[in-house]
Amino acid sequence: MKIAIIGSGYVGLVSGTCLADFGHDVVCVDKDEAKIANLLAGVMPIYEPGLAELVAANVKAERLSFSSSLAASIQGAQVVFIAVGTPARRGDGHADLSYVKAVAHEIAANIKSPTVVVTKSTVPVGTGDEIERILAASGTPVACSVVSNPEFLREGAAIGDFKRPDRIVIGAEDEWARNVMTEVYRPLFLNKAPILFTSRRSAELIKYASNAFLATKITFINEMADLCEKVRANVQDVARGMGLDNRIGTKFLHAGPGYGGSCFPKDTLALLKTAEEFSSPVRLVEAVVNVNETRKRAMGRKVIEALGGSARDKRVAILGLTFKPNTDDMRDAPSIAIIQTLLDAGADVVAYDPEGMEAAARLMPDVTMATNVYDAIEAADAIVLVTEWDAFRALDFGRIHDRAKAPVLIDLRNVYDPAQAREAGIIYTSVGRP
Ligand code: UDX
């Protein structure tokens, strides 16, 4: 099957590459010519484990190609995926649909054969209807059907998530579109991935509802962690005790500095906007957004407390900057608010991250970027673990004593064993653990 993917960012590139790997004939399109030139030369625009190798293999097999021409790429394609960004609009937090709409207009102007147009981008409820109107208004005589097929990929695990999904959601309004989408995903049925057919609007909402629910789960355990600190309970035991109830489940109950990333912050805000528009408030999600926002700065204050109440002229080493490990993505990373709180309090901040320092340096010019972990902790008054990269898990406590000014470690991801840290003479604080 010939498939065109419009937008070669995170979602488009991973989806296109995996669909090619299933044997489809895929062209990934982007209007950014430099990005396409890089992709043609094998240079990836993002860091995602396994992606460069999978792209190379599928290009070699002539199943995957790249182009900056949407008009040429959609010719003969039975399915066109829209996978351009839907960032939060400045000012009101609503999803910015200008890229999606521009692509819909361009598809409408160039379509020549019956095509299923699929939104893979996260779009508010009703966007599929809007795309349908754009296609109809263009007067194209060609039959098209608009489908919503949200992605549930986690950065850092995106290829595995695409190939072995928990579910595939297809929101389609007609039989033809359902049949075409079944063919797109047939290779996945062999992996027993459940496919759920719904209306287009339901599919659009499933994506937002899922992300808001996960954000709620994280925020819930984060507040329990705060309570654990007060009542001297251990949040990891509480989470495990809760999670063993199958109705709750053990996943997404890791207390930490608050969620970040390209999806949860923007999708929860966009859901609130939709709810407001339809006068159907989702107060629980409103609370989640506010609690998470407050939490990030509170983590900065937690560090100041561990420093004895003042950060003025103190040197703080930050380990991990990206919003989670195995990505170079700094979007809405909790590290940004934590570091800002420390800088505002007069601290001197040094940071190290295995992949995120380039992007972080652009966002935070006042932070010194170190060449490795031990360079970062040199002469530090406190060390803060913000992102749980594997490379930080076996931190050498002996070297902390040798290199840091004070052996103060604030572990915002509960990576280390408190007893072991204390035995090693580390002044250790974590999240929600006695
Ligand atoms: C998320 C969804 O998981 C995915 O299905 C969706 O398509 C896009 O958004 P992603 O943003 O890549 O994926 O990261 P995820 O692994 O879900 O983590 C999001 C944030 O939550 C991170 O900041 C992470 O550190 C935090 N988190 C996650 C916690 O603090 N505790 C947890 O238990 C889980």
CA-nearest residue, atom 7 of ligand 1: 152
Return the active site residues.
263
263 lines ligand 1 (CB under 6 A): yes
374-391 pLDDT tens trace: 999 999 999 999 999 999
Q: What pairs with residue 364 in β-bridges?
A: none
DSSP H or E run through 410: strand 408-411
Determine the distance separating the centroid of ligand 1 and the alpha carbon of 404, expressed in angstroms: 32
| Domain limits, the chain | 2-198, 199-434
CA-nearest residue, atom 17 of ligand 1: 154
402-421 pLDDT tens trace: 999 999 999 999 999 999 99
158-177 pLDDT tens trace: 999 999 999 999 999 999 99
Instruction: Determine whether domain 199-434 maps to CATH 3.40.50.720.
Output: yes
pLDDT band at 131 (very low <50, low <70, confident <90, very high): very high
Q: Which residues are annotated as a binding site?
A: 30, 35, 86, 122, 152-155, 207, 252-256, 260, 266, 324, 331
Distance CA 202, CA 210 (A): 12
Provide the pLDDT for residue 87.
87
In this structure, the number of other CB atoms found within 10 A of the CB of residue 128 comes to 24
Report the relative pairing of strands 382-385 and 408-411 from DSSP bridges: parallel
253 lines ligand 1 (CB under 6 A): yes
Provide the pLDDT for residue 361.
97
Provide the pLDDT for residue 91.
80
Mean pLDDT of the chain: 96
Per the CB < 8 A criterion, the answer to whether 296 and 222 are in contact is no
Q: Which CATH architecture has domain 2-198?
A: 3-Layer(aba) Sandwich (3.40)
Provide the pLDDT for residue 44.
96
Nearest-atom index, ligand 1, CA of 256: 30
162 lines ligand 1 (CB under 6 A): no
154 lines ligand 1 (CB under 6 A): yes
Determine the distance separating the centroid of ligand 1 and the alpha carbon of 69, expressed in angstroms: 33
Query: Would you say the CATH fold of 199-434 matches that of 2-198?
Result: yes
Q: What are the structure tokens assigned to 238, written together?
A: 């509480």
Specify the 3-state DSSP secondary structure of 27.
strand
The ipTM, to two decimals, is: 0.95
Distance CA 209, CA 169 (A): 13
Q: Which of 133, 165, 160, 137 is nearest to 149 (CA)?
A: 165
| CA 215 distance to own-chain centroid | 12
CA-nearest residue, atom 27 of ligand 1: 259
Determine the distance separating the centroid of ligand 1 and the alpha carbon of 239, expressed in angstroms: 17
252 lines ligand 1 (CB under 6 A): yes
265 lines ligand 1 (CB under 6 A): no
pLDDT band at 190 (very low <50, low <70, confident <90, very high): confident
CA-nearest residue, atom 9 of ligand 1: 263
By most ligand atoms within 8 Å of CB, the mutation choice from 153, 159, 162, 263 for ligand 1 is 263
Determine the distance separating the centroid of ligand 1 and the alpha carbon of 264, expressed in angstroms: 7
220 lines ligand 1 (CB under 6 A): no
Q: What pairs with residue 384 in β-bridges?
A: 318, 410
> Could you give the C-alpha distances from 434 to 386, 403, 418, 422, 425, in angstroms and in order?
19, 27, 8, 12, 16
